[in-house]
Amino acid sequence: MAAKTRTKRVLVAMSGGVDSSVAAARLLDAGYEIAGVTMKLWGGPSDTGCCSVSDVDDARWAADELGIEHHVFNFGDDFERHVVAPYAADHAAGLTPNPCVECNRHIKFDRLLHRAEALGFDLVATGHHARIVSTAAGLRLRRGADTGKDQSYVLHMLGPEVLARLLLPAGETTKQQVRREAEERGLVTANKPDSQEVCFITTAQGRRRFLSQRIPMRPGRVVDTSGAQVGSVESLELLTVGQRRGLGALGGGSPRYVLDVDAQSATVTVGSLAELDCQATPLTGWRWMDQPVSGEVLVQTSAHGVAAAATIDADGEQVRWIEPRRRVAPGQAVVAYQDDIVIGGGAAAMVAGSYS
């Protein structure tokens, strides 16, 4: 004889986009008591993302169409501290950071979760395309039903304790279905384009202008793998491993790629496509969701990249690729899957002097 439980209260993070609007609608249908919230994270210029007044208006409008409350939380200080400042500092250190991962880690699934709990909500929901599944070892994050839109990579850090307080209703279907559903419900957000790129950097302003306001941009020597100087670059901080453009005139024949950026000695090592390949990628901050998995797993190193077969050292020191693989820019998230379930994650580490 189960006691009558009260309706679960869910705080839905509504960015003003189609996915979170439909997520809210689905939860409403499922009988939850819900309220919407839009986080104001960035006060500066922005193309779109979660911060502009018009996005807040769209979210408010969608909430109103659904007949739910809508609130706005200003987490600007937290966003600056945990996302924007580290983004600039990482570039200064020669890393290629992934601000969406840090925003998810620190803002959406920490700060917001905490706020929601303080305000009496049982659960938080977002419009991310990923799924939460129950396995023998506990709750796990699974790729979204729409593999093309899957966002499990940027959510890889979510462990069972967070997943237990989270709902991801949009990830259960394809994006196309989400849009169709929004249209059928007449939601104002049905035809909004997907948000792209880094939300706090505008296309007009660009990464160079943004970074140059926060960190010194330093010129660097460009050397080949033998250490001989072959050119120079204006701003070391704008280069990332694997990059081909932006190296200036290096002379010579075949295309050359960035193999390594050493911020300390202001040296960029370039080489051929073949030299970009590697057998292993060193890791930092690796965390297994459960016990280390010793066999072959699938490892993804960019948001929309294809996962490749690899093994990961039990201590999380490095990924060993089954087939040679392009070098991963230090700072990028590295996520391991078994089938389509996240089993661990970390970031590509910077190894000093790996080429110089």
Partner 1 sequence: MPARRETPEIYLDHAASSPLRACARRAWLDAAQRHHANPTGSHLAAREARRALDRAREQVASCLGARPGEIVFTSGGSEADNMAVRGALGVRGPSALAVTTAVEHHAVLDPVTRSGGVTVGVDERGVVDLQALANALKEPTAPALPAVSGETVAAASADGPSASGESAAVAVVSAIAVNNETGSINPLSAVAEAARELAPEALLHSDAVQAVNWIDVAAETVGYDLVSVTGHKVGAPVGTGVLVVRDGVLLDPLIIGGGQERGRRAGTPDVAGAAAFAAALSEATEQRADSVQRLRLLRDGLIDGLIERLGDRVTVSAAPDGSDRDHIAAGIANVCIAGVQSEALLFLLDAAGVRASAASSCSSGAQDPSHVLAAMGVPRHLAAGSLRLSLGHTTTSDEAERAVEAISESVLRLDRFDGG
State yes or no: residue 158 binds partner 1 (CB under 8 A): no
Site string for partner 1, 288-327 (x = CB under 8 A): ----------------------------------------
* 344 bridge partner residues: 288, 336
* Member of 1, 2, 118, 306 binding partner 1 (CB under 8 A): 118
Touching partner 1, residues 250-289 (CB under 8 A): none
Taking a C-beta distance cutoff of 8 angstroms, is the pair 283, 346 a contact? Answer: yes
Q: Is 81 in the site for partner 1 (CB under 8 A)?
A: no
**Per-residue tokens: 214:** 């926060």
User: 51, 100, 103, 278: which one is catalytic?
Assistant: 103
Residue type, 143: R
Residue with tokens 């917001």: 112
Closer Cβ to partner 1, 72 or 137, answer by number:
72
Using CB under 8 A as the binding rule, whether residue 133 contacts partner 1 is answered as: no
**38 in contact with partner 1 (CB under 8 A):** yes
> How far is residue 316's CA from residue 345's CA, in Å, rounded to a whole number?
9
Question: Which of 77, 85, 75, 23 lies closest to 50 in space, CA to CA?
Answer: 75
- Does position 119 interact with partner 1 (CB under 8 A)? The reply is yes
Is 8 a binding residue for partner 1 by CB under 8 A? The answer is: no
Catalytic: 51?
no
**CA angle (159, 165, 169) in 5-degree steps:** 95
Q: Which is nearer to partner 1, 212 or 356 (CB)?
A: 212
Radius of gyration of the chain (CA): 22
Q: Is 85 in the site for partner 1 (CB under 8 A)?
A: no
Owner of token pair 């693989």: 325
- Measured from the CB atom, the residue of 45 and 138 that comes closer to partner 1 is 45
Both tokens of 314, joined, read 């039990």
Q: Provide, rounded to whole angstroms, the least separation between the CB of residue 240 and partner 1.
A: 23
- Tell me: does residue 69 bind partner 1 (CB under 8 A): yes
Assess 120 for contact with partner 1 (CB under 8 A). yes
Kindly tell me which of 1 and 53 has the beta carbon lying closer to partner 1: 53
Q: How far is the CB of 205 from partner 1 (least distance, A)?
A: 8
Which of these is catalytic: 50, 100, 199, 278? 199
- Is residue 74 at the binding interface for partner 1, with CB under 8 A as the rule? yes
Instruction: Choose which of 65, 88, 110, 115 interacts with partner 1 (CB under 8 A).
Output: 115
Kindly tell me which of 69 and 184 has the beta carbon lying closer to partner 1.
69
Q: How far is the CB of 51 from partner 1 (least distance, A)?
A: 8
> Given the complex with partner 1, which of 44 and 159 has the nearer CB atom?
44
Tokens in use for 299? 């490892």
Active-site positions read 103, 199
Q: Which residues bind partner 1 (CB under 8 A)?
A: 9, 33, 35, 38, 40, 44-45, 53, 56, 60, 69, 71-74, 77, 114-115, 117-121, 213
